[in-house]
Amino acid sequence: MKKNRAQRILVLLYGDITFDGRVKRMLEIAATGGSVMLLDASDQSICAPIAFASEHERVVLSRAWGTARRHISFWLRCLSVARRYKPDVVFAEDFFTTIPGYLSARIARARLVYDAHELIVSEEVGLAALRRRFWYYLERFAVQRCSLVIAASPERAEIMREHYGLSVPLTYMRNIPFYSERTVPVSHELCCSCSFLIKSDSADKIIIYQGAMSLRRGIGRFVEAMNFLPPNYRLILVGDGPDLDSIRKMGSRIQEQSRFAAVGRVGNEQLAAITAVCDVGVVSYPYTGLNNVYCAPNKIYEYAQAGVPIVATNQPPLEALFKAYAIGETISESDSAEEVAKKIQSIAERNDWRNELDRFISENSPDLEFSRVAEAIAKVIN
């Protein structure tokens, strides 16, 4: 896609760009079509310069505010920026930005691109929680009024097409991060708070889970599995979520043995550094809801790029992937913590994953995702 400097592109993210690798990739794609302004939201006012965004503004949302106030504050800022910036194209990132994205595009008479991070459509939507239904209906309204919709996988794209009866252009971008050598060391602060990241013996094994801290995802089973693993095995959880405190309490006994840590959220750079010193990566999703059944995790690719084999729950996309590439093992919903521990130990003590991980990386290139989405966006911008 040729760079058209006359185009002004506004990217809206209800979240902190520091922790969102997908939106960072989208910024790079958008930047091939024009000048990019990013508006994100965080409880932190200080933010570093963002690659590929020529301008960056942030809505600071206090943790003391209620949910409605936080969203309304973000929406109002989106409309204000759209009036001032006058974009030619607005990117709405995830379902939280569908309506502010749509309204911003209307104000600026711009085209709207919707990047659907999650799959919130469901035949059971009428029985879902009120909050989920609210965002579903907003997406349903906005998605028909887009110039382009981007899903997170081909399976999700097809489900959205059929569910919404989409006639607008639709493509997908899998959550494949751009590969780079992991040269950044784990920070001194993390090493001090989680000393077992420094291995004192080649027999030490570190298991990592990165993602949302929600017990619905089955994280408790992996914490419990530590009771069935040798003392040289350790578990680190990286991420934030509603059950972080509960999960920390679950792991308190093994934490006293210096075999467990839940460190909360860290930036992408430090996350890559932590992953690179680990031996097994965990991917775990619930077995209910289309968004979980047709999961599209970037974690698979991040683990593989770091040379880390994987244990994952056996949703259909993951089961198919592990049959095509021997990069780890899957576990079923009925597997006990002891059975999970056996699979983790089997994976950690094998040394023959490297070739298959390399094949997986080479055959799942982020360049192909970049090119396909860039071509689709070029048709919108030009």
In contact, 213 and 244? CB cutoff 8 Å: yes
284-330: per-residue pLDDT in tens? 999 888 888 999 888 999 999 999 999 999 999 999 999 999 999 99
Give the C-alpha separation, 36 to 12, whole Å: 11
pLDDT of residue 5: 47
> Which residue(s) pair with 113 in the sheet?
91, 148
CB 256 within 8 A of CB 231: no
**Which ranges of 119-232 would DSSP assign to H, the alpha helix?**
130-143, 154-164, 188-193, 219-225
pLDDT, average across residues 18-25: 90
Region 32-44 average pLDDT: 94
- Residue 327 contacts residue 310 (beta carbons within 8 Å): yes
Provide the 10 A C-beta neighbour count for residue 343: 17
Residues ≥6 apart with Cβ < 8 Å to 142: 92, 98, 99, 101, 102, 112, 114
Which token pair is 331?
A: 């576990």
**pLDDT given at position 184:** 61
Q: DSSP of 300-352, one letter per residue?
A: HHHHHHTT--EEEE--HHHHHHHHHS-SEEEE-TT--HHHHHHHHHHHHT---
Tens of pLDDT, residue by residue over 119-156, are 988 655 444 467 788 899 999 999 999 999 999 999 99
Q: What pLDDT score does 193 carry?
A: 66
Please give the order of strands across the beta sheet that includes 8-13: 55-60, 35-42, 8-13, 89-93, 111-115, 148-151, 170-172
State the Cα–Cα distance between residues 195 and 332, nearest whole angstrom: 32
For residue 94 the two structure tokens come to 């995830």
pLDDT at 124: 54
185, 213 Cβ separation under 8 angstroms: no
Cα separation, 197 vs 360, whole angstroms: 26
pLDDT band at 162 (very low <50, low <70, confident <90, very high): very high
Residue 146, both tokens: 């887009």
Q: Is residue 341 a contact partner of residue 224, using CB atoms and an 8 Å limit?
A: no
- Tell me, rounded to whole angstroms, the distance of Cα 316 from its chain centroid: 19
- 173-222 confidence digits (pLDDT tens): 998 887 655 556 677 677 766 777 888 888 899 999 999 999 999 999 99
Q: Report the pLDDT value the prediction gives residue 4, as an integer from 0 to 100.
A: 44
DSSP string, 29-50: HHHTSSEEEEEEEES-------
Domains of the chain: residue spans and CATH: 8-176+365-381 (3.40.50.2000), 188-363 (3.40.50.2000)
